[in-house]
Amino acid sequence: MDPLTLLAFEDRWGAQSAAKEEAIRAELHLTPARYYQLLSRIIDTREALEAHPVLVNRLRRMRDAKRR
């Protein structure tokens, strides 16, 4: 799965919802759990930060807040 595809999807959908989970399955052919695993890895890459800096920084802050 192309990392930029996942970032573009996340940028379009934003907050988690039942409709988003259905779209993850239909458009990306992933389970929501797998999608979020991949997204968490992707946001730590330089490529992701360069392509979508605002989105990546927001996702990193959200993830870090959940870990605390």
User: Cα dist. 43→26, 37, 40, 48 in Å?
Assistant: 22, 10, 6, 6
Tell me how long the chain is.
68
Question: What per-residue confidence (pLDDT) applies to 39?
Answer: 96
pTM equals 0.88
Q: Residue 45 corresponds to which amino acid?
A: T
State the Cα–Cα distance between residues 19 and 11, nearest whole angstrom.
15
Which residues have CB under 8 Å from 7's CB, separation 6+? 39, 42, 48, 51, 52, 55, 56
26-64: pLDDT as tens digits: 999 999 999 999 999 999 999 999 999 999 999 999 999
